[in-house]
Amino acid sequence: MARKKSKRTRKAPQQKQQPTTRRDVLRFAGYGAFGLTILGIGGLAAARSFSKYTAEHDLAVIGQGAPVIVQVHDPQCPSCAKLQKQTRKALKVLGDDAPVYRVANIRTPQGQDFQTQHTVPHVTLILFDAQGRRVGDVRGITPADQLVDIFRSRMGL
């Protein structure tokens, strides 16, 4: 049997790598600085968001000398989200006179305990005076202008 001739492949000539110039280093440093800036801004935004989230869910402020509104809230409920939006609008209207706003997330043990203690369904706002006494509640989606009137009349704002 005749031997098969092997085809030799030619190696592509290797290109010589050009030496790194000062301009290349500065360009790389600029891209790196830009990337770090973007990451830093993103990290700062995430930290602020987390801080705001934890503060908004801290129910320990009830009875600490300021009126408090607590929303019994399910984050997966569209009605809860609508009530939250209307509540925030109402609080903006009240400005500096606005009571402290907190959220009792019923998907957490603390939120479930709060809901059970006060025997209310989600999509509810519970109103507390400065001493922590319950002065009323608002159930269901309520327009912001009505919420302003309710907050002023029941919480003495």
Q: 96-118 burial string, b = 16+ CB within 10 Å, else e?
A: eebbbbbbbbbeeeebeebbeee
89, 98 contact by CB (below 8 A): no
Handedness of CA 17, 19, 23, 27 (dihedral sign): positive
Per residue in 63-83, pLDDT (tens digit) is: 888 899 999 988 899 999 999
Instruction: Output the six-digit token pair for 34.
Output: 């830009």
Q: What is the mean pLDDT of the chain?
A: 82
Cα 70 from chain centroid? 17
Name the phi and psi angles at 14, rounded to 5: -75, 135
Whole-model pTM? Answer: 0.66
Structure letter (DSSP) for residue 21 = P
Per residue in 20-59, pLDDT (tens digit) is: 777 877 777 777 788 778 877 877 776 666 556 555 668 8
Of 122, 113, 114, 141, residue with least CA distance to 76: 122
- Cβ neighbour number for residue 126 with a 10 Å cutoff: 22
